[in-house]
Amino acid sequence: MKRKLLCFSIMIVAFALPSFTVMPSQSALSTWTPDDKLVAAYYFYWYNIYTGEHFITPTGSDYITNHPPDSYLANYSYTEVSWHRRELLDMMTAQIDIVLPVYFGNEDNFFWSKPGLQNLVLATQSLIGEGRTPPKIGMFFDTNALLQQNNNIPPDLTTLSGKANFYNMIADFFDLVSEDLWATINGRPIVFLYASTIIGAYNQSTFDYINQHFQSDFGTTPYIIRTADWQGVTTDEAYIWGSALYGPTRIGSVGTLGPGFDSTALSNYLGEPPSIRDRQCGEYYNSGWEEIMSAGVNLVAIETWNELHEATEIAASREYSTTYLTLTAENILLWKATDFGSVEVIWLDFGAYPYPQGLRPAFNLPDGAWLVTMLAGREAVYPDASTTPTSNYIYLDVNNAFAHATPSEVWVTVEYFDGGTDQWALNYDGVSDPYTWTEFVTLQNTGQWKRHTFHLTDAYFGGRQAVGVDLRLSDTYWADGQTNYFGRIWISKSAPDNQAPDLADLDDVEVWVGHEIEIAVSATDPDGDSISLTLDRDIDFATLTDNGDGTGILRLAPTWSDTRRCPYPIRIIATDAGSPARADSISLQVRILTRDVFLPLVRR
């Protein structure tokens, strides 16, 4: 539906745009529900290889840290339908459900933002006409457009003119995208809204205005997902920007992650020090997906599809070829197949490389920052009392499919190191108090690892603690000045009759290309259950032989095709035959060494 023109005393500037005819697509109008598992990716379409826009700085230096593949460069431009088509095909390979074009709705950017979006629509319709299923189109509203439209003065979105300008940019976007291509939840088009930090003023009436006018013009309301810094307002969901640099995040049903970050090219141009998050040969991204799988989210936003200035792209690139297309597809398929709603036990193995299985460390920041050490053969985590403010807690997040916002009876078993004579406890989100205290556990200073089970009859786990999490370990450092150390944690829906096995720790190793090494693996079970040993993922040069008696052999035989600059993390899982089964995990880092070969110097 075309919207009505909103008339205010605002100067309107006309721009000559290419003629554009919206062609009906061949796909039926459809929508998702909030319970569907969906993956979106931010799509930056401002590049133009023909003019150098967003490729070359005004001073002639490189504007982007990472680059498109050489085979993609010839038509890498928002002006080319064929470029958008190829990007959409790659998104389909990566299993992306929703493309989020980054829209600048201010007049100074119309020259690229509108025709670029129109060409994305044409590319989408072309693919549908061929019987393909490209991603649906949502909106990523870059609020910098509001600032730029207001002469770089933070706009007041509580005024009538400010609200109208805000709404018009949203409506313009959905005027340009035919309704059958919209990415919708319950029939409502998805809008990701960027930061409020450049907005002068706003309140709930700002969003009420958008909903009222969108309803009038389009017959529905937008499904708005705002950054968490929009305070004091209510929208459908919220999210956190910055996960490519700072790590995966979750707010409510929305999770975010990215492959890494490197602003070197842009920072060099601006004369600033760069921000860098090493990709670790894909392991930073893979570990992010591990967290997402345990986070209980239904909508994942990947940061980003192709932001090349800051090197956050998962799209094909000169630097990484199609590696991240493959990693993304593999992880999305695994995430969509993961269901912690059907399991009896969720658990977390803490350490330098945590192994979350429906239970995850929520964050590692002051008030809840933690460090890792080795104690009595196991990795141990402990609150970092040196932070400001002091960290007295370790926050944990329960997968929503396992338990969420419903009174529940659960048993929480915590593995702790019994060193000292102080106390520790849990605070959990209970029915009547988000920070309900458990009984205290008093240490006996035995110097051994022990386990304590808390029976929670009134667990609620509604995400009402800090940053929307469910429970926290409290070491009461503020009272006794002593630090407590923790290992694995299990949460079960029935009284735990079965104890988890214990894997013996393994050291990190180095192995030469062309050589083979064998590493003995062993696990014991406190209940005497039989144990199976497995690797948590396939690695070409690694095989694990399970002897069937709790022991096994890990064989490492790398070839030249396995070499890379980063070590490989290898995780071994020991699972017992109890009911329900419980497990342990250990991780080791494997670095592959190479010998440089020099030809002999021959005198002639």
Q: What is the pLDDT of residues 368-424, one digit of tens each?
A: 999 999 999 899 999 999 999 999 999 999 999 999 999 999 999 999 999 999 999
- R_g of the chain computed on alpha carbons: 27
* Predicted local confidence at residue 480, as pLDDT: 87
> How many angstroms separate the Cα of 582 from the Cα of each of 243, 417, 457, 491, 578?
32, 20, 22, 11, 7
Average pLDDT over every residue of 280-302: 95
Number of H helices, E strands in the chain: 10, 34
Domain 341-492 CATH assignment equals 2.60.120.260? yes
* Predicted local confidence at residue 478, as pLDDT: 85
Average pLDDT over every residue of 550-556: 98
**pLDDT grade for 25, boundaries at 50, 70 and 90:** very low
Assess contact for 119 and 47: CB atoms under 8 A. no
**pLDDT grade for 345, boundaries at 50, 70 and 90:** very high
**pLDDT grade for 600, boundaries at 50, 70 and 90:** low
What tokens appear for 396 in the block? 């944990």
* Predicted local confidence at residue 365, as pLDDT: 85
d(CA 363, CA 366): 9
d(CA 95, CA 81): 21
The CATH classification number of 502-593 equals 2.60.40.60
Please provide residue 349's backbone torsions phi and psi, each rounded to the nearest 5 degrees: -105, 110
Q: Does residue 186 carry a pLDDT above 90?
A: yes
Least confident of 23-32, 98-107, 453-462, 582-591: 23-32
* Strand pairing report for 299-302 and 254-257: parallel
d(CA 411, CA 126): 54
* Predicted local confidence at residue 351, as pLDDT: 86
* Strand pairing report for 370-375 and 378-383: antiparallel
Average pLDDT over every residue of 85-102: 98
* Predicted local confidence at residue 598, as pLDDT: 46
* Alpha-helix runs per DSSP H in 130-203: 144-149, 160-176
Assess contact for 190 and 223: CB atoms under 8 A. yes
Q: Choose the CATH number for 38-338 among 3.10.580.10, 3.40.50.1820, 3.20.20.80, 3.40.50.10240.
A: 3.20.20.80
Q: Does residue 140 carry a pLDDT above 90?
A: yes
d(CA 313, CA 322): 11
Assess contact for 136 and 97: CB atoms under 8 A. yes
* Predicted local confidence at residue 17, as pLDDT: 31
Cα angle 511, 513, 518; round to 5: 40
> How many angstroms separate the Cα of 287 from the Cα of each of 138, 291, 491, 579, 587?
27, 6, 22, 29, 13
Written as one letter, the residue type at 288 is G
Residue intervals in the chain for CATH 2.60.120.260: 341-492
* Predicted local confidence at residue 596, as pLDDT: 59
Average pLDDT, the chain: 92
d(CA 324, CA 331): 10
Residue intervals in the chain for CATH 3.20.20.80: 38-338
Look up tokens 């009222």; give the residue.
Answer: 212
State the pTM of this model: 0.90
**pLDDT grade for 100, boundaries at 50, 70 and 90:** very high
User: pLDDT for 230-278, tens place per residue?
Assistant: 999 999 999 999 999 999 999 999 999 999 999 999 999 999 999 999 9
Look up tokens 């129109």; give the residue.
Answer: 118
Average pLDDT over every residue of 82-92: 98
